[in-house]
Structure 1
């Protein structure tokens, strides 16, 4: 099997990674590479294999076949390389909390499990509380925390041993917008500190804001894996939103005659969405032409299709 020559610069690499449950293929021959310091978003419908893939990376699930490498060293589920597991922080989507403990005692318990020395333990407890913005809740019983606070506490527990690779499985599931924002802020701090983060989520707007690269899974296969920038360049169509005060028939005629307008649709009275294949100069020329023929334009702006639209379009292509 050919191994990347720059594997030492790759935090996570898998080759032919496969998991079969009673003849059902949950993960199918996945080749994945995530560079050090990246935030990699894993998206796909329920049953696509995201959780199984993350569990294998976290050594919580034994692969049927295939290989996993962390920072260039092969990861095995046995006890032959325990130092590699120290690299990992794993937050599953259903990790239980101990409601009868307070925040600081809960974190101290896990710090002791990781055998952090007392001076380091005290320092690390303070650091993770500040990262997740729970320092003011250090003495609060866990049972009194909101759902968002509990999820940030789970993140603090996951990073208490200062891992360099973080695996997060649906960490914002069920959180309200404010709680998601607070969780994103914590992830950004970890990203700035140089941690490599793999995160799966159905909230694609969060991933678009956080991630440097995206992987899309369908039926156990990794059907797309690239930088977010590259994904937008290849798959995100340019849209122009146009609103006019009058002369809708003339506007529609101009859109029909514009060779770079792939198609358009009416979104309301005097409101149109066009899919445009030209560059910025072409956009400016289209606006100039509409004004030249006397159409009273009062709104004209461009934007690219978002990550959710790209995902839905790619999913349709895979199933059609």
Structure 2
């Protein structure tokens, strides 16, 4: 028996006057996944997340959270308790302390002591704000404020966490801290949907990726499957030699599958682009060894999420 997906939508649509922001979108997110949602500005990502968070009413279509259907025009209190939502512009109350701010939201979710105090300690430790719990929010750095906002969105221990651009404007260290929190939440069993323009961050934490274009979900798959599919006919290999790089180049010219050879500066290494599959990579290595090239590194590199997004986006618009 298969587990019920955390998120399932059928023909989900949102129209503003004559503009269709989300167009008959079918989405499925399995339990425990970190699902990355990417796409250009105006693709419909925020509108989709707002509908899943019950902050925006769909024009048409259906939303199911853990198998239960959102009813349009109704409050859906039981379903909303399963959701955590962090928009990119949620306000903070600067005059409150970290503890009082989280305690306020915990009370809104009817958490009672001693469970409420225990939960506050848990989330404050998770977001690494133990030393700041009695400090006013106004004194926090931008990264600390974002971690506090994340703590607020999970104070009631939701099953589904919706994050809209959670690392926007953060420095690299603050982004790493947010990524680590997301990884910890996934390890605890939480399902997470995250949108971001920083694709290298998504590549670090996501199990699946969805690509939106003009309100449509043009791609949705496991991240590793996406990597494998986009690189099955095109390989990129880093090759290093103890000998002369010119000899390595000459040997590579014997393979008709080599499309491009880029000599790297500072080290006797080349980056090779070639057609073919893994077996062809193995045959290339054998060709170099048979040619007497002293190879000490032969590494097949993986396409970046950025290059995959550009490639797939080009296919959709060409």
- Per the TM superposition, whether the score is higher than 0.5 is yes
Query: Please, which of 197, 208, 215 is the counterpart of residue 213 of structure 1?
Result: 208
> Which of 113, 134, 139 is equivalent to 1:144?
139
What whole-Å deviation, never above 9, does each CA across 1:253-283 have from its counterpart, x for those lacking one? 543431333x114355565322234455543
Match of 1:195 among 169, 190, 202: 190
Report which stretch shifted further, 263-272 or 112-121: 263-272
| Other-structure match for 2:272 | 274
Q: Which residue of structure 2 lines up, in the alignment, with residue 126 of structure 1?
A: 121
In structure 2, the partner of 1:304 is 302
What SS class does the counterpart of residue 9 from structure 1 fall into?
Answer: coil
Partner of 2:239: 242
Q: Secondary structure at the match of 1:10?
A: coil
Match of 2:42 in 1: 47
Residues in 1 aligned to 2:134 and 2:128: alpha-carbon distance in whole angstroms: 14
User: Which residue in the other structure is 1:258 paired with?
Assistant: 255
Within the alignment, does 1:110 sit opposite 2:105 as a pair? yes
1 CA distance for matches of 2:121 and 2:245? 64
Cα distance in structure 2, aligned partners of 1:178 and 1:122: 29
- Separation in structure 2 between the aligned mates of residue 272 and residue 319 of structure 1, nearest angstrom: 33
Q: Which residue of 1 aligns with 2:59?
A: 64
Q: What SS does the aligned partner of 2:40 have?
A: coil
Indicate whether 1:88 and 2:83 are aligned: yes
CA RMSD of aligned residues (A): 2.1
Cα distance in 2 for partners of 1:273, 1:101 equals: 55
Give 1:131 shift: 1.3
Aligned to 2:68: 73
Aligned to 1:238, the other structure's residue is in SS state strand
* TM-score, structure 2 normalization: 0.91
| Alignment counterpart, residue 218 of structure 2, candidates 209, 216, 223 | 223
Segment of structure 1 superposing worse, 265-274 or 73-82? 265-274
* Contact kept in structure 1, 2:236 and 2:301, CA below 8 Å: yes
Q: Which runs of 5+ in 1 are unaligned?
A: none
Equivalent of 1:183 in 175, 178, 188: 178
1:37 is displaced (CA, Å) by 1.1
Where does the alignment leave 5 or more consecutive residues of structure 2 unmatched? none
